[in-house]
Amino acid sequence: MNSIILSAERIVKANDFYETLRRTRPQTRADLKNYLKVFLGIDIGDVNICPEHNSPLDYLWHCYAEPGAKATGESRSGDCVVWAGRGGGKTLLAAAATLLDSIFKPGCKTRILAGSETQAQRMYDYMLGFVNNGFEDFLAGPVRKDKCRFLNGSDVEVLTQSAASVRGSHIHKLRCDEVELFDRQVFEAAKFITKSTDEIVGAMETLSTMHQPFGIMHDIVGKAQSAGVPIFKWCVWEVIENCKGRSCSRCPLNNDCMGRAKKANGYLKIDDVLAQMRRSSRAAFESEMLCLRPSLENVVFAEFEPDVHIKEVEYNPSLPLYRAIDFGFVNPFVCLWIQVDEKGTVRVIDEYVKSRITIDGHAQEIKNRKPFIEDNVIATFCDPAGAGVNDVTGTSPVFQLRQAGVKLRYKRSSILEGIELVRRFLRSGDGQSSLVISPRCGRLIEAMQCYHYPQAGCEELPLKDGIYDHPIDALRYFFVNYNSSNSTKNRRY
């Protein structure tokens, strides 16, 4: 009888110790990893298999450790971007981060916003799954379909994909899942709803795969790189299970894997990855699983390859010099400087992109651009629409530039005609390229990668979005005029 009592007492003590550990805040990355495995039942990968990637634990530690909390004289932003492949556990990890914030940061207010109601509900349901596995005593009151509260004052709520829902919130943590599917106006409104306190760092976390080179996620990653916001990126190799007993030479994944799965310690089943690879296109697999680059399915210039078409090219005074212009005021005014070498290779060597400047101001900029000499410019090709007379000013951009001494020429053409000429120089029928762009031309390079067709319908013409179309239009005007066998118009006014 005494032994039974002793055993019961030990079980009670063990349970008490277990529950004490559940309520003890992890202090290190190793503590956090063990806590997640023991109490949430998830074993998170903590190894970055690809050199340029992160591990999923890097993201979770960033959220949990409160960068800059209680610090003075340093940034207190907890913002971050998570770029990971399908099946990479983004939603599950964000749900775990939400629970950790709620139980270890008293008074923390977290909101979940996703590209669809279903996706937002999925993150919330993941979190409730963790709660119902031993964290019920942390709750205050009943759990609602879209909201729950904790005894320490924390709460979690699912927001709808609407500007009204977003604008009415002022919270500590906003987790935006699958932002690629967001309405842009809602996303812009969401940027202003987080705030910090002395104990809790405000943070907006954006999580998604990158489906398209012209989508919201593409913009977010580019801006995050410029602003120094942490980007946590991982692909299938950071979350795949450890490969044991398989022959690399016989594995369909080998060309991509190259032994990486032998070093992995994730949860994603190899057989599931194999099945997904078989049922998807190569482009989709690279985009969705390997995070190599967004899908080019809707991009106009899928032939554009940065490794081939971006090169250091300098101005050569012995070669003919041309300019190509697309007019704009609110939308940007674009000017490209272009030369053609002895082999017929078109070399875009510089760009000028400015908004809200008068034609006189543009004329001074492009005429005095160094190291170019205005007298060496053979011709400046432009948008024929620039010859139209403005009803208010009684003049036209073409007339004003000619008055400033800029030699303008233009030829009317269709958009598709110019696009086909650009494609021909990107890659001809024999596979050769005759177009290179200097790294200085950042706006043109971005446009070459992002200029796209509308998402819906069967439109043959690319989308005029006011961002990517203007540098492309300037490039089109060069090719249409330079390659035209017809005489270009050179009118006097």
> In whole angstroms, what is the distance from residue 156 CA to residue 151 CA?
12
Q: Is the pLDDT of residue 461 over 80?
A: yes
Do 98 and 247 form a contact (C-beta atoms < 8 A)? no
Q: Kindly tell me if the per-residue pLDDT of 220 is higher than 60.
A: yes
pLDDT, residue 284, reads 83
Of residues 287 and 24, which shows the higher confidence score? Answer: 24
Q: Which residues are bridge partners to 391 per DSSP?
A: none
- Are 309 and 441 a contacting pair, CB within 8 Å? no
Question: What confidence category does residue 10 fall into, taking pLDDT thresholds of 50, 70 and 90?
Answer: low
In this prediction, residue 108 has a pLDDT band, given cuts at 50, 70 and 90, of very high
CA distances 244 to 96, 222, 271, 487, Å, are: 29, 38, 13, 69
pLDDT band for position 493 (cuts 50, 70, 90)? very low
Query: What domains can you pick out in the chain, each with its CATH number?
Result: 26-67+75-295 (3.40.50.300), 306-482 (3.30.420.280)
Residue 488 pLDDT greater than 50, yes or no: no
- Across the range 260-273, mean pLDDT stands at 92
pLDDT at 8: 59
Q: What is the pLDDT of residues 241-255, one digit of tens each?
A: 999 989 999 999 999
Q: Is the pLDDT of residue 257 over 80?
A: yes
d(CA 97, CA 91): 10
Question: Per-residue pLDDT for 408 more than 70?
Answer: yes
**How many of the other CB atoms lie within 10 Å of CB of 370?**
7
DSSP letter string, 298-312: TBTTTT--HHHHB--
